[in-house]
């Protein structure tokens, strides 16, 4: 998902000023990476240029004029296209964890020690995410859950691999 | 970290030809939450049972608060479990004929407390575990998550120093399981109780302050 696509979805929900758009983006999409104002106005300029967004109104206040932006029909179509297309599942075929296990077996070091150290690292990360999740709102909880489920999958792989090390060592050294 | 409250050292336990523990260790400090993970058959539940004085190890020592648990007679061990420890298991721990309130008050009643004060304390814990409206329900009328929260309240009611929880969420879906863990760990921290949490689920183990892994009857790390 690009920043532009997120902006189109936010503007489809209702027209917004650039300032509101940044805060709504940070709340729903930014997580730990808030947008810079420069990115907001660069992205809006591009969306205006390509006809996906229009200026819905201009408010004069005490300070500079504030433009309110709205999505166009073409922008709504872009949002629909984004939602219609499933994301490609990541296949994780270039696994650093697997590479380290092979490295240990090739060099006669302990692959069990590699797996144990990695398990400890993963569990520590899961404890940290769980602490964060417990203090968060529903959005935080779901974002942390996404990370936790992925780490859990890694851990299952570590356990599975631990049971296959003898056979893998024989294959690697053959 | 404070001094160790419970130390299990070099535990051995076999059931016939099957070796369940082969030199396992566990150290628990006051007020901390420790997870014990490991694959099925690794010995993690046996480690919990030996540490809690439910099972006598064949070898090794369990020392709780300066007392050698394996040297206590059955009556002393039973009193230790009733007064100092709380237990949460996966299944079958509530008395089906009793209400949730009576189940929670049961350890206090068995220890001789009169009904009124026992039920007052049980009511406070049911409220803490967000089950006040289920106080008069029997276990058969509770959902799986509510059942486990009643079990947590019962484990806490006597003011234990250590709660031993063996797969407390093993029969629950992930949302109910996490709710049980949030309430269990929060209530235990508030009560100053340590928790020994046996689980095969890393997402549940992540509620602990630290963890150990048991494999082939020994601690892997």
Band of residue A130 on the pLDDT scale cut at 50, 70, 90: very high
Contact A119 B213 (CB under 8 A): yes
Collect all residues of chain B within an 8 Å Cβ-Cβ radius of residue A148: 203, 206
Classify domain B4-219 by CATH number.
3.40.50.300
Q: Give the list of residues 6+ apart from residue B174 with CB closer than 8 angstroms, or none.
A: B203
pLDDT digits (tens, 9 = 90+) for A16-61: 999 999 999 998 888 778 999 999 999 999 999 999 999 998 887 6
Which CA distances in Å does B7 have to A26, A109, A161, B47, B66? 48, 32, 31, 12, 9
CA distance B118 to B141: 23
Stated length of chain B: 221
Is this model's pTM higher than 0.90 or not?
A: no
Mean pLDDT, residues A85-92: 82
pLDDT digits (tens, 9 = 90+) for B105-159: 999 999 899 999 999 999 999 999 999 999 999 999 999 999 999 999 999 999 9
Mean pLDDT, residues B178-195: 92
Band of residue A88 on the pLDDT scale cut at 50, 70, 90: confident
Stated length of chain A: 174
User: By CA distance, what is B182's nearest residue in A?
Assistant: A134
Maximum distance among all Cα pairs of chain B, rounded to whole angstroms: 50
CA distance B191 to A77: 56
| Three-state DSSP string of chain A | CCHHHHHHHHHHHCCEEHHHHHHHHHHHHHCCCCCCHHHHHHHHHHHHHCCCEEEEEEECCCCCCEEEEEECHHHHHHHHHHHHCCCCCCCCCCCHHHHHHHHHHHCCCCHHHHHHHHHHHHHHHHHHHHHHHHCCCHHHHHHHHHHHHHHHHHHHHHHHHHCCHHHHHHHHHC
Collect all residues of chain A within an 8 Å Cβ-Cβ radius of residue B37: 123
Q: Which of A114, A115, A118, A119 to mutate to test the interface with B (most CBs of B within 10 A)?
A: A119
What per-residue confidence (pLDDT) applies to B71? 86
CA distance B38 to B212: 9
Beta carbons of B38 and B215 less than 8 angstroms apart: yes
Collect all residues of chain B within an 8 Å Cβ-Cβ radius of residue A120: 221
Q: What residue segments make up the domains of chain B, in order of their start?
A: 4-219
Contact B203 A122 (CB under 8 A): no
Does ipTM come in above 0.90? no
User: By CA distance, what is A129's nearest residue in B?
Assistant: B206
């Amino acid at each position: 998902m690009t920043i532009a696509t997120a902006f189109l979805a936010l503007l489809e929900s209702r027209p917004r000023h650039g300032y509101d758009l940044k805060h709504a983006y940070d709340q729903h999409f930014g997580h730990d990476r808030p947008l810079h104002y420069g990115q907001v106005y660069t992205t809006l300029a591009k969306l205006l240029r390509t006809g996906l967004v229009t200026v819905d109104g201009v408010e004069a206040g005490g300070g500079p004029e504030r433009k309110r932006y709205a999505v166009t029909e073409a922008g709504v179509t872009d949002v629909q296209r984004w939602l219609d297309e499933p994301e490609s599942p990541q296949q994780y075929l270039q696994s650093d964890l697997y590479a380290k296990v092979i490295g240990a077996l090739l060099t006669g070091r302990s692959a069990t020690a590699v797996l144990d150290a990695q398990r400890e690292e993963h569990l520590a990360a899961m404890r940290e995410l769980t602490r964060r999740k417990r203090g968060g709102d529903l959005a935080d909880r779901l974002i942390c859950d996404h990370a936790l489920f992925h780490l859990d999958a890694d851990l299952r792989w570590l356990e599975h691999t631990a049971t296959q090390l003898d056979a893998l060592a024989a294959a690697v050294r053959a | 970290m404070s001094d160790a409250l419970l130390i299990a050292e070099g535990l051995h336990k076999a059931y016939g030809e099957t070796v369940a523990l082969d030199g396992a260790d566990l150290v628990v400090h006051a007020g901390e939450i420790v997870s014990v993970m490991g694959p099925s058959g690794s010995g993690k539940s046996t480690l919990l049972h030996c540490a809690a004085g439910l099972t006598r190890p064949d070898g090794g020592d369990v020392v709780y608060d300066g007392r050698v648990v394996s040297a206590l007679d059955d009556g002393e061990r039973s009193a230790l479990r009733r007064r100092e420890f709380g237990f949460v298991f996966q299944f079958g721990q509530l008395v089906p004929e009793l209400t949730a309130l009576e189940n929670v008050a049961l350890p206090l009643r068995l220890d001789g407390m009169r009904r009124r004060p026992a039920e007052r304390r049980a009511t406070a814990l049911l409220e803490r575990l967000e089950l006040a409206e289920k106080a008069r329900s029997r276990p058969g009328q509770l959902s799986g998550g509510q059942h486990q929260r009643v079990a947590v309240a019962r484990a806490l009611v006597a003011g234990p120093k250590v709660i031993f929880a063996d797969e407390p969420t093993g029969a629950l879906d992930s949302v109910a399981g996490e709710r049980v863990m949030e309430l269990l760990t929060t209530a235990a921290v508030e009560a100053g109780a340590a928790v020994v949490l046996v689980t095969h689920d890393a997402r549940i183990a992540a509620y602990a302050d630290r963890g150990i892994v048991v494999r082939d009857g020994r601690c892997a790390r």
